[in-house]
Structure 1
Amino acid sequence: MSFRSIWGQVKRERQRFGRFGFQLFAFATWIPVVAMFNHYVGELAWINGPSMYPFLNAEKDQTTRKDVVVNYKLNAQYDLRRGMIVTFWNPYDPELVTVKRIVGLEGDIIKTRNPYPYPTVRVPRGHVWVEGDGGERLSRDSNDYGPISTNLIIGKVTHVLWPLHRFGRVRWWEYAGNIRN
């Protein structure tokens, strides 16, 4: 093998690595962009458990698949309305993200369920009352831990992506009139 053929092979390897290195660099530069988008703007969320049944995880008894939703995070703590489904840091376990429906806004008087110690509560300023659609047996919600601070809210569920037969926008305003106060 001559010096020229070896040098040609080294040159080809360097060019191939150069292309790979550039592609790797180009890919790596998008990682912070995607991470910032997920942290501040929105992300996909997989819904676990029966607490939002029947609206989310409606097929909980027929399949192990989870519903996939869009969790919109930009300005999530503002313009909150009754009926909206929100994600928030669980007051009992701050590393756990929980999903519930807003039942009461600040100043509202709520008729509570067990195990809340009082029959009614006035939602304090800067707080909301959240409950799961599944009822008291299937949901740990404000009836367990009381009103939650709006500062704990990290996102609003805006769209259902999976299962496909329920694909579309979350029409929370249709539930706002059915909420018991």
Structure 2
Amino acid sequence: MIEGPRSEVEDRNTPDVFIENLVVFDRPHVRLDELIRFNTLPAPHKSPFREWFESLAFTIIFVLVFTSYVAQATQVPTESMKPTILVGDHFFLDKIAFPANYPAFIRQYLPHRSIKRGDIIAFKSPTDGNIPFVKRVIGIPGDTIELRNKSLYINGTKFEEPYKIHVDSTVYSNDPWTPEELKIRDNYGPTTVPAGSYFAMGDNRDNSNDSRYWGFVTWGEIIGKPLFIYWSYESDPYMPGEKTIREWIDGYASIAIHFFNRTRWFRIGTLVQ
């Protein structure tokens, strides 16, 4: 028999190793859920009333913060901005970075939102600070404003206004027997807009309570700029005076009944500019 070469492994003198005192553990008969236990405290139980109250409180806080500093839904109840804004137009106001929305001590740290001629702004009413006015900026700081027979002149140059309308063709002069409110309606100034202020008028020039009658709008009174119309409903102009409960009920009932045929669907989404 021919033997092959022996390997080096076989030539090694490997000593025998004896394992003594070998301990063999049997598999324990214990379930995993018996080895690991989590002692957790039960979640506190909230009553339905508490959950409802917390949700309501959060919603109220969110709405107050959002409408005070970000955006606010509003409308113009008069025809002063016709035809740009009609009675019954509901739109959102952009209120970010306008100082009238913030406490006085933090206004100096806010960014300065620029206002230019032709912008439509909302501001606190000069006669009632709780009512917002919406008008168009005609003059910015340093401008000299003058009305001559219903025509606008800025810094001595006639200024074209494609957005304005006149519902009264009569032009009142500065004669002594003409009432003052009619004189300044058609002939006003010249007057120079001071720093930090603006001269604002309504687009419905013959039917607008604006800077011609109560002066300038200061920067600190501006609360926002209209964005777009989210709903438009044919309604009557605002009538001064307190409404009775019956009148409120009749008004809302009329909206519910005539919602579809009086909603001006074509105006929804229109930018206010």
TM-score range, shorter chain: 0.7 to 0.9
In the alignment, which residue of structure 1 is the partner of 2:68? 39
Where do 1:90-129 residues align within 5 Å? 90-112=125-147, 114-115=183-184, 118-129=188-199
User: Following the alignment from structure 2 to structure 1, what is the Cα–Cα distance between the partners of residues 126 and 209?
Assistant: 11
Give 3-state SS (helix, strand or coil) of 1:168's partner: coil
User: Following the alignment from structure 1 to structure 2, what is the Cα–Cα distance between the partners of residues 102 and 36?
Assistant: 27
User: Following the alignment from structure 1 to structure 2, what is the Cα–Cα distance between the partners of residues 171 and 73?
Assistant: 15
User: Following the alignment from structure 2 to structure 1, what is the Cα–Cα distance between the partners of residues 221 and 63?
Assistant: 23
Task: Tell me the CA shift for residue 27 of structure 1.
Answer: 2.8
Task: Tell me the CA shift for residue 166 of structure 1.
Answer: 1.7
In the alignment, which residue of structure 2 is the partner of 1:29? 58
Q: How many residues align?
A: 149
Kindly name which structure, 1 or 2, has the bigger radius of gyration based on alpha carbons: 2
In the alignment, which residue of structure 1 is the partner of 2:215? 146
User: Following the alignment from structure 1 to structure 2, what is the Cα–Cα distance between the partners of residues 40 and 171?
Assistant: 20
Deviation sequence 1:58-77 (CA, Å, 0-9, x none): xx5xxxxx110111111136
Give unpaired runs (5+ residues) of structure 1.
Answer: 1-14, 61-65, 173-181
In the alignment, which residue of structure 1 is the partner of 2:89? 67
User: Following the alignment from structure 1 to structure 2, what is the Cα–Cα distance between the partners of residues 108 and 89?
Assistant: 22
User: Following the alignment from structure 1 to structure 2, what is the Cα–Cα distance between the partners of residues 160 and 51?
Assistant: 17
Is 1:167 the counterpart of 2:237? The answer is no
User: Following the alignment from structure 2 to structure 1, what is the Cα–Cα distance between the partners of residues 98 and 67?
Assistant: 13
User: Following the alignment from structure 2 to structure 1, what is the Cα–Cα distance between the partners of residues 211 and 124?
Assistant: 13
TM-score (norm 1): 0.73
User: Following the alignment from structure 1 to structure 2, what is the Cα–Cα distance between the partners of residues 169 and 72?
Assistant: 15
User: Following the alignment from structure 1 to structure 2, what is the Cα–Cα distance between the partners of residues 29 and 93?
Assistant: 31
User: Following the alignment from structure 1 to structure 2, what is the Cα–Cα distance between the partners of residues 92 and 28?
Assistant: 33
Change (3 A) 1:118 1:68: closer
Cα contact 2:85–2:272 (8 A) shared by 1: no
Cα contact 1:47–1:69 (8 A) shared by 2: no
Task: Tell me the CA shift for residue 132 of structure 1.
Answer: 0.3
User: Following the alignment from structure 1 to structure 2, what is the Cα–Cα distance between the partners of residues 132 and 55?
Assistant: 10
Percent of residue pairs bearing the same amino acid type = 28
Task: Tell me the CA shift for residue 168 of structure 1.
Answer: 2.7
Task: Tell me the CA shift for residue 84 of structure 1.
Answer: 1.4
Q: Which amino acid aligns with 1:67?
A: D
In the alignment, which residue of structure 2 is the partner of 1:9? none
TM-score (norm 2): 0.50
Task: Tell me the CA shift for residue 171 of structure 1.
Answer: 5.5
In the alignment, which residue of structure 1 is the partner of 2:33? none
Note the aligned Cα RMSD (angstroms): 2.2
Q: Quick check: which one's strand share is greater?
A: 1
Deviation sequence 1:22-72 (CA, Å, 0-9, x none): 133223222111101101111100221010011111xx5xxxxx1101111
